[in-house]
Amino acid sequence: MAINNCVVETSYGAVRGIDDGCVRVWKGIRYAAPPVGDLRFRAPEPPERWTEVADATLFGPACPQPPIPNVPLELGAPQREDCLRLNIWAPADTQPGGGKPVMVWLHGGAYMFGSGSQPLYDGRRLAQSGDVVVVTVNYRLGALGFLDLSSFSSARRRFDSNIGLRDALAALRWVRDNIAGFGGDPGRVTLFGESAGAGIVTTLLATSAAQGLFARAIAQSSPATSVYDRGRAQRVAACILDRLGIDPSDVHRVPLVPTTALMAAAKEVFDEVPVHNPGTLAFVPIVDGDVLTDYPVKLAQEGRSQPVPLIIGTNKHEAALFRLMRSPLMPITPHAITSMFNEIAAEQPDLQLPTEEEMGLVYSRIRRRSRPVSIATDVGFRMPSVWLADGHSRVAPVYLYRFDYSTPLLKLLLVRAAHATELPYIWGNLGGPHDPTLRLGGAKTAKAVSRRVRTRWVNFAARGKPVGAAGEPEWPAYDEADRRCLIIDRSDIVARDLDAHIRATWGGEVVSFR
């Protein structure tokens, strides 16, 4: 493989990118065949080989998705089902076989929204300043990626499970086989993601099919316990069929449903599920006995996760974003939280959940109106991450963090270090047109925080240890003896057993939202 005016020969044909003197970029590279027709609701297949040099200067289509009310999401590309594409950024001096660390990004969005072409995930700054090859991936979302129709498979029509996970695995296999031609080292691939993307990361840590496809992992705000059983997945599938007016005996008609009709049905079910079952999502990975044999946190606790170094953590005020957006995705009212606990207790009677009195004692120092938000943060993100860290630390080094920094604007809005607010710091894209958080100032400090966190992420990708810049504190690996955690704020601080008060309430038990 060789680069000639940004032309790289891949396993399926040559692609031509662009070089602006700072970075080389290839966009919209197909890593799987178009998932349409007979391949809709099926595992991804390799693409057909092309003979002409393919143009890789424009982003490929984003997966079709409904709009988010009051929050326009800039996807950076039109929406079409032919969306299994990836994008690559490399420093301008990169040569084939250059052996640079590779960072593969899986975007978030509740398994329903987003794309690898969102302006927020422009890999230019991260690749150039970190001397790494950056890859962003599109995978199928919502009903197209996480609707499980496999229980309806028949001789007439076969459906696959965990399609979105299979897409991520296909992209990682493409990276393994081709990234050397773009200057990357296939033996030093770091898989990283946020929110649902981090959920895929923590799920793939429990997936044998992912073995050897990445050497390190970073999970930012992973909903690690939002993995359900086939029974719940079947109920969601039945709801979708009902919205589409299709009898289960005619399920072979689903692949023929127009995209717009499928999106409308998926949006209705997506909105209804967390209202009736607080704390749950309609479309998530499932324990299918094939791609995933058991719950990721459970497998980690049993020492059966992939033994790769892991950075995992959350933001201090995760649930505040959902309160600001008035989103039902996260239970942030006492009634919703109580309903969630009651459902968990009914499904898992042997699980020791905190009582209302116990929660009141732990959160007594938190202002009353913030208490439900804090509890929602803990149950949705923090404790699942801590549980996974506990288990995974038995097989590989784990580095636990909490992102606490917030700008003056975010403090004024009372969201502070809310869900997803760390993203522009990781990517180095602070203050751009899609990041309004610096409008009330704070740019100097924010950019310093960004440089520090990017240094640690890149060093982890390069060497497996999140070493900071000169003068920054050492970030020790997490263990159950002292539970060290890096607090990322105006300055980095290493704290011991930061979550002791939360663990005391939850009794160290693992909650699995089935």
Show which residues are catalytic: 195, 318, 419
Work out the angle at residue 19's Cα, subtended by the Cα atoms of residues 16 and 22, and round it to the nearest 5 degrees: 150
| Residues in CB range of 156: below 8 A, 6 or more apart | 252
- Short-list 297, 284, 333, CA closest to 506: 297
Q: Report whether 280 contacts 344 (CB < 8 A).
A: no
Strands (E), 83-231: 85-91, 100-106, 133-137, 184-194, 216-220
Collapsing DSSP to helix, strand or coil, 114 comes out as coil
First to last CA, the chain: 47
Q: How far is CA 487 from the centre of its chain?
A: 21
- Short-list 132, 123, 109, 118, CA closest to 190: 132
Q: Report whether 167 contacts 497 (CB < 8 A).
A: no
Distance CA 389, CA 375 (A): 19
Work out the angle at residue 121's Cα, subtended by the Cα atoms of residues 12 and 18, and round it to the nearest 5 degrees: 50
- Short-list 188, 231, 239, 259, CA closest to 41: 259
410: part of which helix (H) or strand (E)? helix 408-412
Q: Which residues pair with 276 in a beta bridge?
A: none
Other beta carbons within 10 angstroms of residue 98's beta carbon come to 18
